[in-house]
A and B are shown apart, each in its own frame.
Chain A
Amino acid sequence: QSALTQPPSASGSPGQSVTISCTGTSSDVGGYNSVSWYQQHPDKAPKLMIYEVTKRPSGVPDRFSGSKSGNTASLTVSGLQAEDEADYYCSSYEGSNILLFGGGTKLTVL
C-alpha cells in the first residue's frame, strides 16, 4: 500500500495556470478511472474537487480540471485565484479494495 507520488509544492501567480501531477502504477492510477482530487485549507476537512479522473462535482469551478495519461494523473487549476491556495491530494482505487492517497501538494498563489 504505497502512497501515490505528488510534488510537495507548486506555485503560480493570480490568473496563471498550474498543474499538479500524481504518479502511481498500473495497479492503481493506470489501471482504473477512479482518480480523484481533494482540496484542503488549513484546519479544514478535505473537499472533493475532481472524481473519476475528469468529473467535477456540482459547485466546483470549471477552472479545475483533471486528466490522466498512463500511470500519471494531473490536476490543472486555471485562472489562479487567492482562494485556491491550499493543499491538494490525489487518490486512486488500488485494486485490492484499498484507497490510496498521494502525499499532498501545497499550492501557493504568489
Chain B
Amino acid sequence: EVQLVESGGGLVKAGGSLRLSCAASRFAFSTYNMNWVRQAPGKGLEWVSSINSGSTYIYYADSVKGRFTVSRDNAKNSLYLQMNSLRAEDTAVYYCARDGSFYYLDYWGQGTLVTVSS
C-alpha cells in the first residue's frame, strides 16, 4: 500500500520559516506528480502547490506564490515544501498527496500541523 508520511510541522512566529517533508514509499515516486494541500482548523481543503515528476513544472496557489517553494528529491523519495514569510492564515494541517493521473489525488499522507502565531 502506498505510504506518504509528512513531517516538519510545528509552532512558528509570523514572518518565520518552516520546511515540511513528505517521505514516500511503496510506489515509484519518481514517476508521479505530487501536491501539497492544506486545511485550516475547522475549514475546507485548499490546494497549495504541485510539482511534476521531473520538477520541470511547478505551480502554486495565489495565496502562497512568492513565499512557498516546492521541491522533490527522487533519489530520496521525498517531497518538500519550504514556507517563508509565514502568516497567521497559513495555520493549517498540510497534506502531501499523490496525483493519480490528472489532478486527482489518489493517496494522501496523514498531515502535519503548522501553527503560525501572531
Contacting chain B: which of A15-23, A72-80, A94-102?
A94-102
Identity of the chain A residue whose Cβ is nearest the Cβ of B100 in the assembled complex:
A51
| Chain B hits for A100, CB < 8 A | 47
Q: Do the beta carbons of B45 and A38 come within 8 Å of each other?
A: yes
Within 8 A of B (CB), among A52-110: 52, 57, 89, 91-93, 97-104
15 contacts between A and B (CB under 8 A): A1-B62, A36-B104, A45-B110, A46-B37, A46-B108, A48-B100, A48-B106, A51-B101, A51-B104, A52-B102, A52-B104, A89-B44, A99-B47, A101-B37, A104-B45
- Shortest CB-to-CB span from B59 to chain A, Å, is 4
Sorting the interface of chain B by its residue count into under 10, 10 to 19, 20 to 34 or 35 or more gives 20 to 34
Identity of the chain A residue whose Cβ is nearest the Cβ of B99 in the assembled complex:
A99
Q: How far is the CA of A91 from the CA of B106 in the complex (A)?
A: 12
| Chain B hits for A91, CB < 8 A | 45, 47, 103-105
| Chain A hits for B100, CB < 8 A | 48, 51
The A interface is mostly helix, strand or loop, or mixed, namely: strand
From A40, A48, A92, A99, contact of B50 by CB (8 A)? A99
Q: Do the beta carbons of B110 and A99 come within 8 Å of each other?
A: no
Residue pairs across A and B with CB atoms within 8 Å: the count is 67
A: number of interface residues (CB 8 Å): 25
B91 CB within 8 Å of chain A: no
| Chain A hits for B47, CB < 8 A | 91, 98-101
* Known A34-B103, A45-B95, A46-B45; contact A98-B108, beta-carbon cutoff 8 A: no
Q: Do the beta carbons of B102 and A104 come within 8 Å of each other?
A: no
The 5 A-B residue pairs with the shortest CB-CB distance, nearest first, are A51-B104, A36-B104, A99-B47, A93-B103, A45-B108
Within 8 A of A (CB), among B57-114: 57, 59, 61-63, 95, 97, 100-111
A41 CB within 8 Å of chain B: no
From A1, A36, A52, A102, contact of B44 by CB (8 A)? A102
